[in-house]
Amino acid sequence: MIEARRLHILRAVADHRTVTAAAAALYLTPSAVSQQLTALEQETGHRLVDRSARGVRLTAAGEILLTHTNAVLAQLERAEAELAAYSSGEAGTVTVASFATGIGLVVGPALARLADTAPGIRVRVQDAEGDASLPMVLDRQVDVAVAVEYRGAPGADDPRLTRVPLYAEPFDAVLPLGHRLAEADRVPLAELAKDAWIGPFAGNPCHDVVVLACEQAGFQPVLEHWSDDFRAVVALASAGAGVALVPRSALRGMDVSGAVVRPVEGAAPTRRVFAAVRCGAEGHPLIRPVLAALGDAAAA
């Protein structure tokens, strides 16, 4: 008989590629993870992982079991959802991880809606970058992620996750007041090829959006200043340090008097935001109202 908790461990090892990283995500010791993997191999009668100095790789048998693991864990999530619904599920705690702008734009308004529509649901919010929240959901550290599309993100067809689209927003060009394009109605990105750039650190999903937009315009941006805080990015642009692309919602309520904000000419680079839960959990009576409130907040 295969134990479900060992399937959780197998998936964590597959996701994180090392026993140490999987153990940290699951709040276990590396030796405990190794012991559970060994026990799972004994239960199945197959070697499931290859260990090397570079990490852990699933064997062919491990890949087969992982496919079934995703289906089994999704079904267990559905079972928990139905049992919670059976026992009313009107009160409880849901944890949500979201990047800062998403908290301001949809998570905060969603909490206000839930206070009226589902007062028994307590939502705990964690600030997490758009590329960090999805692993937190898969590792069961949080229930819901408000995330953004990024290179390497699990796709819409990933069997581990159920995704709910929330909104898409363009990036605007932020220029110093004295910039040669400050009077333009729209900014052609190709005209900024020789400028110094200000942008997020590599690994931030917005970094990917900026670099990809510039590549599509025919150049690699020369990033001379780095910050994941868009207030700092605008402050640097206002000081004449360079140009930047910033999500439109991040500019709301921000003092941009020292800079010029213009839409991008042509197809603007876009940040696509969605909510995600573990597959099967979308029907949970505590999670379902949270997803609905996030959708309503995004639509508003």
Report the range out of 50-64, 75-89, 163-177 with the highest average pLDDT. Answer: 163-177
The pLDDT confidence band at residue 124, using thresholds 50, 70 and 90, is: very high
Calculate the average pLDDT of the chain: 89
pLDDT digits 0-9 by tens, 145-182: 999 887 777 888 889 999 999 999 999 999 999 999 99
pLDDT digits (tens, 9 = 90+) for 8-47: 888 888 888 888 888 888 888 988 888 888 888 888 888 8
On the CB side of 133, CA atoms within 13 Å amount to 30
Q: What is the pLDDT of residue 90?
A: 67
| pLDDT value for 230 | 93
pTM of the model: 0.68
Burial 255-277, CB ≥16 within 10 A → b, else e: ebeebbbbebbeebbebebbbbb
